[in-house]
Amino acid sequence: MTTKRHKFIKLGLLLVIIVACVIIATGFNRKIAASNNETYKSLKTFTDVLEIVEKNYVDEVDTKDLINKAIQGMVHGLDPHSALLPPEAFDELQIDTKGEFGGIGIVITMQKGILTVISPIEGTPAFKAGIEAQDKIIKVDGESTQDMKLWEAVKKMRGPKGKEVIITVVRKGVPKPIEFKLIRDIIPVESVRSIVLKPGYGYIRITNFQANTETDILTELKKMESGKVALKGLILDLRNNPGGLLDQAIKVSDIFLENVKILSIKGRYKKNNKVFKGTPNTPARTYPIVVLINSGSASASEIVAGALQDNHRALILGTTSFGKGSVQTVEELPEGYGLKLTIARYYTPNGRSIQAKGIEPDIVIKHKIIEEDEENDDGVITEADLKNHLEAEPDASDKKETRTSDKKKRSVASKYGKLQLDNLNADYQVMRSLEILISYNIFKK
């Protein structure tokens, strides 16, 4: 085969790949008409640039790698949650939904090109070591994260249990980078823990939404509801809950709601529009509920908080949540690749979009440990801070507000492992919630 013919076939294949990618990025069902000259002019420019790079770049280039980077740039430029997932990243995503993996236990994002911690996961090596929300990760095992993709960073931090990984972070207010030597562990599947604060008043903490979250909550509720003293009130703690599976958020909301709207999803196409409603519960749960949220409460946890708030089923207490109100789907592509694409926004039962806004609590109470001085910290990361974030509504021009949230100031011993009454009794937000539930029952009489 001649070089000229080989080049012609290669460019032809590239053109087919690019056309397919453009079809995907414009909505899966949209057809590119042959008469759309602007589209084909752009594709011609792309192939011309690719050929020039192949011929003239100082080093030899990998054509497939160049195309993948071009696709990644196209998709990621849409919003911070859309991305082309190479096989390794696609595998990592599937591991996340199963809820068990070897790693250090942090939820991270890219903020202005910097690898940034959204929140540590309770009970994990990162949490115990003191890694905090808003820490900027500048190195992993001595390698700079400056040009590292999100999935690459995740892969480097995950690994077999017992193996060490060194994380270097920059923290606001600390003059020098902080180095953490962490021993990887199995990040626990358990996402639900509960305890009775005092007879008749229960506390449930959900750390993230996994495949078994609804089942675990029902198990814990049945224990408390069948106790010697009837359950008079419940605190549902969603603080620092980064989200998880959409269906679990809906099922958890349904535990406390009956025959009312839980969530609606609206996208560009009707096939992505859905309305989720509650179903009758046996037994019906009518006791009062206080839901705790903060800036680390995102996605699925915001769905639950919004559903209970709009249906007047719970009082929301804490600080404004993260503000991720978009829905992603993952399409499997050839050769093990995946395309994660934002297809819709979700809305609370009253039609509110919390995208880049968050759930605002009914009662704003910032976190502090009782008997310790509270110190506020500005600039906690939220959805509105992410580059290319979606607006709450299409074509919305609302200016994002700068919000102050609580500093992640806490006693490590009070946050991981088995729940301890002494630790919860020192948690100001928990104690205020308990006071509200007790007051409600007194006034009800």
Alpha-carbon gap, residue 65 to 270, rounded angstroms: 35
User: Is 299 an active-site residue?
Assistant: yes
Q: Which position has the token pair 């640039």?
A: 49
Alpha-carbon gap, residue 45 to 47, rounded angstroms: 6
**Distances from the Cα of 267 to the Cα of 159, 238, 274, 323, 346, angstroms:** 37, 27, 9, 18, 9
Alpha-carbon gap, residue 48 to 53, rounded angstroms: 9
User: Is 324 an active-site residue?
Assistant: yes
Active-site annotation holder among 324, 340, 407, 408 = 324
Q: Please, what's the b/e burial string for 334-358 (b: 16 or more CB within 10 A of its CB; e: otherwise)? A: eeebbbbbbbbbbbbbeebbbbbbb
Helix (H/G/I), strand (E/B), else coil: 427: strand
Active-site annotation holder among 79, 135, 254, 310 = 310
CB atoms within 10 A of CB 193: 19
Alpha-carbon gap, residue 151 to 125, rounded angstroms: 20
User: Is 226 an active-site residue?
Assistant: no
Return the H-helix or E-strand segment holding 164: strand 164-170
**Distances from the Cα of 378 to the Cα of 135, 141, 188, 201, 399, angstroms:** 13, 29, 31, 34, 18
Helix-then-strand count for the chain, H and E: 11, 21
Q: Which residues contact 120 (CB under 8 A, 6 or more apart)?
A: 105, 106, 107, 126, 127, 131, 132, 133, 240
Active-site annotation holder among 299, 301, 326, 405 = 299
Alpha-carbon gap, residue 86 to 122, rounded angstroms: 29
Residues labelled catalytic: 299, 310, 324
